[in-house]
Amino acid sequence: MACNQKLKNPHYKSAQNAYNNAAQAFVAAGTPVNVLGILNTDTGCALKTNAGGFEVECSGLYRISYDVTATATAAGTVTLQGYKDTIALPCMSAQATVAANDVVTLHTETTVYIPVCCNGTPTINAVVGGVAGTVNHVCASIVKLA
């Protein structure tokens, strides 16, 4: 991988931070959150950001954080669950009970070791659901700690 432009330097700490203010409809069964609207921080060489979340290219200890503001279309419980590929990250879960048309902000974060093998790169993402609605804002970040 070419890693020598701007802050994409192997000697810099890897960090990605993105936000998206575009409206995103979601269904009760769950819809992945699109994080890539504006990429605020893009340093180091261990991470990439795409619409579906973050790609981890180097093994290490990572701090992952998602803030999602959503408007529910019905009463119920809005959920936000983080995933590594298709496996739920148990400490990266948040929920809130809402009435129809309530606006709620959910925050979830975790610190986790992510191993990377030579045959693929893990993807970190989050799914919002529980009730149908619209995501109004998402801000997500991942930082390689060690």
Residues near 84 by Cβ (< 8 Å), separated by ≥ 6?
Answer: 112, 114, 122, 123, 124
Sign of CA dihedral 97, 69, 25, 29: negative
Global confidence as pTM: 0.92
Residues near 51 by Cβ (< 8 Å), separated by ≥ 6?
Answer: 34, 35, 36
Residues near 3 by Cβ (< 8 Å), separated by ≥ 6?
Answer: 9, 10, 45
Q: pLDDT tens track of the chain, all 146 residues?
A: 455 455 677 768 999 999 999 999 999 999 999 999 999 999 999 999 999 999 999 999 999 999 999 999 999 999 999 999 999 999 999 999 999 999 999 999 999 999 998 888 999 999 999 999 999 999 999 999 99
What does the block give as tokens for 114?
């992510």
3-state per-residue secondary structure call for 31-90: EECCCCCEEEEEECCCEEEECCEEEECCCEEEEEEEEEEEEECCCEEEEEEEEECCEEEE
- Distance, in Å, from the CA atom of 97 to the CA atom of 109, rounded to the nearest integer, reads 19
Residues in the chain: 146
